[in-house]
């Protein structure tokens, strides 16, 4: 048995939105027990494994098993003390959830990372995985995260701030450059979001910049696109995303600007 779980950011976003993140993690742990790939797993083994990894009580797991019926597994069958559950395939879960974000590389999470953690920690990890789903660290707006995850802005921001697996990078868009600071000041007043703008100075040139969506750098290793379930690939065809390249510079790139350092 490997010591990792593989999380698909597309599914992570959907289970956060439907508030099934705890069921999804339990399904991932149950999949680890299914070493022969039959999909049939002992209920007792699921409970024991979840207790070891997450340090949760048996009655809590029983409750989640009931809530996850026909969502992540079928109704348990067998005799008392010797029951089994039939796990649903990733494709079945994708068909039900219909993820609304485009393709992302699967994320490999070591089991030790979630060892003896609570639901808040795991939810924060899933939020981080959705935020950092782009391996090229392209900007991702808070509006997009709120829309795809279904949680409040404060919840998302707090989770990303407290996360131990992601780094947040602030981006800026250069609106104008000039040797005349006064002209840039007038332009800043005319901006529809002047509070998001600032003027910086570098090499005798002033730059009017505007804060853009943040980029997120996820620490976990990623698998290739080819390893994704076929149903996710089919789901990709239903989704469209238009990204227009902009003149965006990172916060780190601005560190040389004296005005920015003040």
The answer to whether 105 touches 222, Cβ cutoff 8 Å, is: yes
Q: What burial letters (b/e) apply to 97-107, b meaning 16+ CB within 10 Å?
A: bebebebbbbb
Average confidence score pLDDT of the chain: 87
The span from the CA of 43 to the CA of 259, in Å, is: 61
- What does the pLDDT read at residue 204? 83
- What does the pLDDT read at residue 92? 94
Q: What percent of the chain has pLDDT over 70?
A: 90
Max Cα distance, the chain (Å) = 82
Residue 101 vs residues 21, 23, 71, 144, 146: alpha-carbon distances, Å: 17, 20, 20, 10, 12
Q: Which residues pair with 176 in a beta bridge?
A: 208
Residues 243-248 have a mean pLDDT of 46
The answer to whether 16 touches 149, Cβ cutoff 8 Å, is: yes
pTM of the model: 0.82
Is 246's pLDDT higher than 50? no
- What does the pLDDT read at residue 16? 97
pLDDT confidence bin for 242, thresholds 50/70/90: very low
For 3-27, the pLDDT digits (tens) are 999 999 999 999 999 999 999 999 9
DSSP, residue by residue, 58-84: HHHHHHHHHHTBTTTBPPPEEETTEEE
Q: Give residues with Cβ within 8 angstroms of 222, minimum separation 6.
A: 105, 106, 107, 108, 135
For 51-61, the pLDDT digits (tens) are 989 888 889 99
Residues 28-32: contacts with CB within 8 Å, 24+ apart? 29/5, 29/53, 29/54, 30/73, 30/85, 30/87, 31/5, 31/87, 32/1, 32/2, 32/5, 32/111
Give which of 58, 7, 49 is closest to 29, Cα–Cα.
49
pLDDT confidence bin for 1, thresholds 50/70/90: low
For 118-177, the pLDDT digits (tens) are 999 999 999 999 999 998 888 898 999 999 999 999 999 999 999 999 999 888 888 888
Residues 94-106 have a mean pLDDT of 92
Which 8-state DSSP code applies to residue 226?
G
pLDDT confidence bin for 260, thresholds 50/70/90: very low
Is 248's pLDDT higher than 60? no
Rg (CA), the chain: 23
- What does the pLDDT read at residue 216? 93
pLDDT confidence bin for 73, thresholds 50/70/90: very high
Is 258's pLDDT higher than 70? no
Give which of 225, 208, 246, 218 is closest to 105, Cα–Cα.
225
> Which of these ranges, 96-100, 115-119, 135-139, has the smallest mean pLDDT?
135-139
The answer to whether 218 touches 166, Cβ cutoff 8 Å, is: yes
What are the sequence ranges of the domains in the chain? 4-168+218-222, 171-213+245-261
């Amino acid at each position: 048995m490997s010591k990792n779980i593989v999380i698909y950011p597309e599914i992570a976003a959907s289970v956060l939105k439907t508030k099934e993140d705890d069921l999804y993690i339990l399904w991932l742990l149950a999949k680890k027990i299914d070493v022969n790939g039959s999909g049939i797993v002992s209920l007792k083994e699921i409970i024991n494994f979840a207790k070891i990894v997450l340090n949760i009580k048996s009655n809590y797991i029983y409750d989640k098993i009931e809530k996850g019926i026909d969502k992540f597994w079928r109704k348990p069958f067998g005799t008392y003390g010797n029951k089994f559950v039939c796990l649903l395939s990733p494709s079945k879960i994708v068909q039900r959830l219909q993820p609304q974000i485009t393709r992302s590389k699967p994320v490999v999470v070591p089991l030790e990372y979630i060892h003896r953690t609570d639901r808040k920690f795991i939810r924060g990890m899933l939020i981080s995985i959705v935020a950092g789903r782009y391996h090229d660290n392209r900007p991702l707006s808070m509006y997009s995260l709120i829309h795809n995850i279904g949680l409040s802005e404060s919840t998302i921001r707090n989770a990303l701030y407290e996360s131990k697996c992601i780094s947040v990078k602030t981006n800026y868009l250069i609106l104008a450059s000039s040797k005349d600071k006064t002209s840039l000041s007038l332009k800043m007043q005319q901006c529809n979001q002047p509070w998001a703008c600032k003027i910086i100075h570098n090499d005798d040139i002033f730059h009017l910049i505007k804060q853009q969506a943040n980029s997120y750098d996820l620490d976990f290793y990623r698998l290739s696109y080819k390893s994704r379930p076929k149903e996710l690939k089919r789901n990709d065809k239903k989704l469209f995303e238009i990204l227009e390249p902009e003149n965006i510079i990172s916060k780190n790139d601005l560190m040389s600007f004296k005005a920015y350092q003040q």
